[in-house]
Amino acid sequence: MISLIAAAFDDGWAFVRQGYTVYLVRPPYKRSSLVEVSESAALRAVHAHGFTPELRDYRDWAALISFLREKIAESAAARAPRAAEIDAAARLLRRAPPDVVAGYLDRVERELLPSGEHRAAIRLLSALHGLEHVMTDPPLRARAARLLDAAAEAASASMDRRAALLDDEKDLRRKFPRAMEQWGEALPELMRSVRRRGSLLWMGE
Amino acid sequence: MRTITFYSYKGGVGRSLAVANLARYLASFGQRVFAIDLDLEAPGLHYKLASPAEQRSIRGGVVDAICALLQLGAPLSSAEAALSAPSSLRDFVTRVEHATDSGGSIHLMPAGQAPSAAYFRKLAAVSFHDLFYAEGARGVPFFLELTERIKSEYAPDYLLIDARAGLTDLSGVATSLLPDLVICLLANNQESLEGARSALRAIRRTPRLPGRPPVDLLPVLARIPRTLDDSAEQARVESARAFLNEPAEDLADTLEIPELFVLHAEPELELAEALRVGGDIHPDDSPLLRGYLRLFMHMFSGLIEPKLASLVEGAVKGAMDDPDGAQRKLEALTAAFPHPISYRALLQFYRLRQIDTEKALRVAHRYLELSQVSPERSGPPKLS
């Protein structure tokens, strides 16, 4: 018996319990990507990482994964109209006057960014930023650029927070006991900095 | 355990051969050595270090350990199985015999059963990008765990790493994550020097785990032809050293290489590579062996000198009763451990016994050659 405790259906990440052990599972649902976590990590995820609490039981892993895959598909389908709306807006904005463009920038600032829809915000801002009458209007261009930076930073921070769930100390201690004993909390921090840098050797900026 | 990585920006400079020679050298001084081949795309350390019989006994290596410990590609069926790592490295490690009875030992963790098709299939299944940079990537803790396991299971005095050439993910592990010292072999040409300088600056720039000092760097000019006279060669060495030490755009990256050691080319090695340390070759007949000995002697003077002094003492102990026997022992000692201490003792013995001038001059020449140390510089890093 496997119990689903919490899930984020946008990307299919989920906390599950099997016996006395809690795991974080995520696509592509391989056992190499299974992370053993503490109960408190699952609770923190609900409070801080956008997971919703669930309480469902599954007879085996196959049933659980099948459910999660269905939910990912449903979530993607629900997001599709929003993406279409943004693409349509971007097409219409080619000829829009500056006050309409400013209105869309307001919407990004007041709606999309606070609600965590960073990908949608980046998509819209990228379209706006490329418009000729935005490029030739310094205040508008500066505002679009500032919002684009903010959206990219927020998206990256959100990915970092999500990735940090995978570096759960309990899982690392179980799989790499000697390394964790030697380096402790410095190890997950090093793993994150290597991931951010995208290279083991720091070749410079 | 001290970790020494042999790295080169370009291949073909004798990196694996240098690892194998150092392993033999340290084992002959009673040290426990563990050598690991991280040149996974073109592994070759097992050819240099292990006998043909030992090579045939290889059942696995680094690639197998990566696949086993990380359960790569396995389906999600049993959560418990996913977390059960192999309990020992035994299946991935081969013991290498060596001729001396010094009490030292050599263990080798090869890349795997290379060059079999199965090995390269397994290697192809490993995505090194995912291993280090994907969400939940476990490459960094894996290699740190591997070295901790080596430390606890084999308790080596020295871990020697044969790194991949170029700037790759695995060469990054070998040069920035794991080592205390990087010996960078470089050919004396522009592409090798520029590439090596970039790599050495990057190694210095890369942050380390808390409490670990910066990696020591020891560049060595390799495969230098023995066709130049000493002063012409010295001028080239100085020019290469000046190039490496040129100020970097970001001044904090500027290297400070106090001395460049040289390993000479030996044309016979182009036909058949063979170990120089611990073999039948006398230093008089091998400029490469003399280069290795100067380099190793400098690096390990604190380790070697006390041991050698006691061996010399043992050799001359019965000299009053059996001077010929004592002389034979000293001559054997200089052949086995060519070092200023053994040469000085032999030279003193020759003078005492008024041995013919030519023989004594040859020993004096070797003594001076091995003693050559630049007095005005602090010298590259030493390990003991």
B78 pLDDT more than 70: no
When pLDDT is averaged across residues B174-195 and rounded to a whole number, the result is: 95
- Collapsed DSSP state (helix, strand, coil) of residue B276: coil
Q: Quick one: DSSP state of residue B219?
A: E
Beta-sheet pairing, A13-18 with B261-264 = unpaired
- Confidence class for position B80, pLDDT limits 50, 70, 90: very low
Q: Which of residues 77-116 of A touch B (CB under 8 A)?
A: none
- Rounded Cα distance between A146 and B316, Å, is 81
Lowest pLDDT segment from A165-169, B118-122, B350-354: A165-169
Q: A114: cis peptide before it, omega within 30°?
A: no
Are the beta carbons of B141 and A175 separated by less than 8 Å?
A: yes
B269 pLDDT more than 80: no
When pLDDT is averaged across residues B78-107 and rounded to a whole number, the result is: 71
> A183 contacts in B (CB within 8 Å)?
144, 209-210
Strand partners, B182: B5, B217
Does residue B219 contact residue B259 with C-beta atoms inside 8 Å?
no
Q: Does A151 touch chain B (CB under 8 A)?
A: no
Q: How far is B97 from chain A (nearest CA, A)?
A: 29
Determine how many CB atoms are found less than 10 A away from the CB of residue B352: 12
> B84 contacts in A (CB within 8 Å)?
none
Cα separations (Å) of A3 from A16, A60, A61, A117? 5, 9, 10, 29
Nearest Cβ partner of B144 from A21, A163, A183?
Answer: A183
Residue of B nearest to A190 (CA): B209
Radius of gyration of chain A (CA): 21
Are the beta carbons of B202 and A177 separated by less than 8 Å?
A: no
When pLDDT is averaged across residues B363-373 and rounded to a whole number, the result is: 79
Residue-wise pLDDT tens for chain A (205 aa)? Answer: 889 999 988 888 999 999 888 999 988 887 777 888 888 888 888 877 778 888 899 988 888 988 998 888 888 887 776 777 777 777 777 777 778 888 888 888 888 888 777 777 888 888 777 777 788 888 888 888 888 888 888 777 777 777 777 777 788 888 888 999 999 989 999 998 898 888 999 887 6
**If you search the block for the tokens 């307001």, which residue do you land on?**
A106
Cα separations (Å) of B75 from A2, A62, A170, B82, B269? 17, 10, 22, 9, 48
- Rounded Cα distance between A30 and B76, Å, is 5
- Confidence class for position B74, pLDDT limits 50, 70, 90: very low
Q: Compute the CA torsion angle B41, B42, B43, B45 (nearest 10 deg).
A: -140
Q: How far is A176 from chain B (nearest CA, A)?
A: 6
Which residues are CB-neighbours of A174 under 8 A, at least 6 positions away? A36, B83
Q: Does A156 touch chain B (CB under 8 A)?
A: no
Per-residue pLDDT reduced to its tens digit, B209-264: 999 999 999 999 999 888 778 888 889 999 999 999 999 888 888 999 998 999 98
Are the beta carbons of B198 and A203 separated by less than 8 Å?
A: yes
Q: Does A1 touch chain B (CB under 8 A)?
A: no
Does residue B96 contact residue B107 with C-beta atoms inside 8 Å?
yes
- The one-letter amino acid at B361: L
> A195 contacts in B (CB within 8 Å)?
132-135, 137
Top residue of B76, B77, B143, B194 to mutate, by most chain A CBs within 10 Å, is B76
Top residue of A1, A16, A31, A169 to mutate, by most chain B CBs within 10 Å, is A31
Instruction: Determine what percent of chain B is predicted with pLDDT higher than 90.
Output: 47
> B76 contacts in A (CB within 8 Å)?
25, 29-31, 34, 61, 65
Instruction: Please provide the DSSP assignment of B224-260 as one string.
Output: E-TTS-HHHHHHHHHHHHHHHTSPPSSGGG-------
Using alpha carbons, select from B28, B147, B144 the residue that is nearest to residue B96.
B28
Are the beta carbons of B85 and A175 separated by less than 8 Å?
A: yes
The sign one gets for the Cα dihedral B91, B92, B95, B96 is positive
Which helix H or strand E contains A16, and what residues bound it? strand A13-18
Q: Does A201 touch chain B (CB under 8 A)?
A: yes
> B171 contacts in A (CB within 8 Å)?
201
Q: Helix A186-197 crosses helix A138-166 at what angle (to 10 degrees)? A: 140
Q: Which of residues 165-204 of B touch A (CB under 8 A)?
A: 167, 169, 171-173, 175-177, 198-199, 202-203
- Confidence class for position B73, pLDDT limits 50, 70, 90: very low
- Confidence class for position B70, pLDDT limits 50, 70, 90: low
The sign one gets for the Cα dihedral B267, B227, B165, B89 is positive
pLDDT of the residue at B208 = 93
Q: How far is B274 from chain A (nearest CA, A)?
A: 33
Does residue B5 contact residue B182 with C-beta atoms inside 8 Å?
yes
- Residue pairs spanning A and B at CB distance below 8 A: 127
Dmax over CA atoms of chain A, in Å, equals 63
Does residue A93 contact residue A131 with C-beta atoms inside 8 Å?
yes
Q: Does A65 touch chain B (CB under 8 A)?
A: yes
Q: How far is A132 from chain B (nearest CA, A)?
A: 37
- The one-letter amino acid at B96: V
When pLDDT is averaged across residues B74-85 and rounded to a whole number, the result is: 41
Q: B115: cis peptide before it, omega within 30°?
A: yes
pLDDT of the residue at B184 = 97
pLDDT of the residue at B283 = 74
Can you read off the two tokens belonging to residue A42?
């699952």
> B250 contacts in A (CB within 8 Å)?
204
